Amino acid sequence: MDVFLAGTDSLKLTRIARQDPDLALVPAGDAHRHADQSPLDIAALRLALPEGMSTFRPAEPLSLTFFSRESRSSAACVSSRALLTRLPSDSFLEVIQANGDPWPYAGSGELRLFVESPGLSLVRMEQQVQRLVKHGALTPNAAFIKLLTFPMEACGLYARDPSDPAHGPCAFELEPIQSPEKIVELLDDLEGIRGLRRARRAASLVQSGAGSPEETLLSLAFKLPESLGGIEAPAFLENEPIGWPQEVRHLIEHKQMRPDFNWPGHLTAGEYNGKDHISEEAFEEDQRRIRDYQRCGISVFPASYKNVRTVHALNGYLASVAHSLAKTEGPEFEARVRRALEDEGATHARKVLLSQTLPAIPSEKPCW
């Protein structure tokens, strides 16, 4: 029995699998083309699904994808959707037991569980946010920013809480499950699905390596065009190790560091400090890191929740980073950024950016 979860249920299981060391996500290849979607054994499926996934009922049905109209489940506790378009390879990820064991399943045959790949999930999320736009719950710009947060998480090093993504604690230091390039490639091969145009636009703006929701916020603020609340900074790396210059290695206190944001050709870095940086031990560690950056001639700009929680605070932080980047980019760059930070339309766009990306509770990302 092959079960393909869809929409928010797919995203929920994806987050569970990312955080659970006993589970793994692997590309599913062409499994959807040869799927065994015989009638569901609902009772056996409830027992097999991970904790938190088995409480589906008619009022809150489990969303599943089927690949023919005939195979759709008629169970009242299942929301069935027939996906009839041609799908490229690796449109889905399989959720497997990390030790290679099959899923414990009381039904007949062997159970295989699949979730939507980040690219396919992006299209599904686009369809959902457009319904919110239609009903006036989101503006088009807010919907687009909200849409961007899903692939940023998938290509990042964190996962939101499966049961309470908005307020629950994140898991950190995870492996990304996709790259922006793979998402773009999949969407380029897709056709005949509503929402592709905006999903492709979102995929073109995704950056890999964000380590927390706040880092996603800053990444978008650095990268996005002014019309979406960003400053269009030069290309940067996220959470990638940097090498120390040979001449200062004897002075360095850390064997390796991994700035949250790094502009290697501009000798500029940014770091977001989570809640546990408020302790005395974390404060001292931050000072050691800053000294190491300074020994290498790198200007580093630490940020905390207070630097991103309002437009005014965020503008101040972006202006400081832009001033450092201008040493290489030139005064015209800084002047353009300053105009963007003062422009009424761009400021409103930044408020929208904050409204969709700022977590209600500061992340407790660990210090390194």
The pLDDT assigned to 366 comes to 64
The tens-digit pLDDT sequence of the chain (368 residues) is 999 999 999 999 999 999 999 999 999 999 999 999 989 999 999 999 998 899 999 999 999 999 999 999 999 999 999 999 999 999 999 999 999 999 999 988 899 999 999 999 999 999 999 999 999 999 999 999 999 999 999 999 999 999 999 999 999 999 999 999 999 999 999 998 999 999 999 999 999 999 999 999 999 999 999 999 999 999 999 999 987 777 877 777 777 788 999 999 999 999 998 765 456 676 677 788 888 888 888 999 999 999 999 999 999 999 999 999 999 999 999 999 999 999 999 999 999 999 999 998 898 776 54
Q: How much is the pTM?
A: 0.93
Q: How many CA atoms lie within 13 A of 126 on its CB side?
A: 21
Report the alpha-carbon distance of residue 341 to residue 337 in Å, rounded: 6
Report the alpha-carbon distance of residue 367 to residue 313 in Å, rounded: 22
User: Helix axis angle, 118-134 relative to 180-189, nearest 10°?
Assistant: 70
Q: Which amino acid is at 126?
A: E
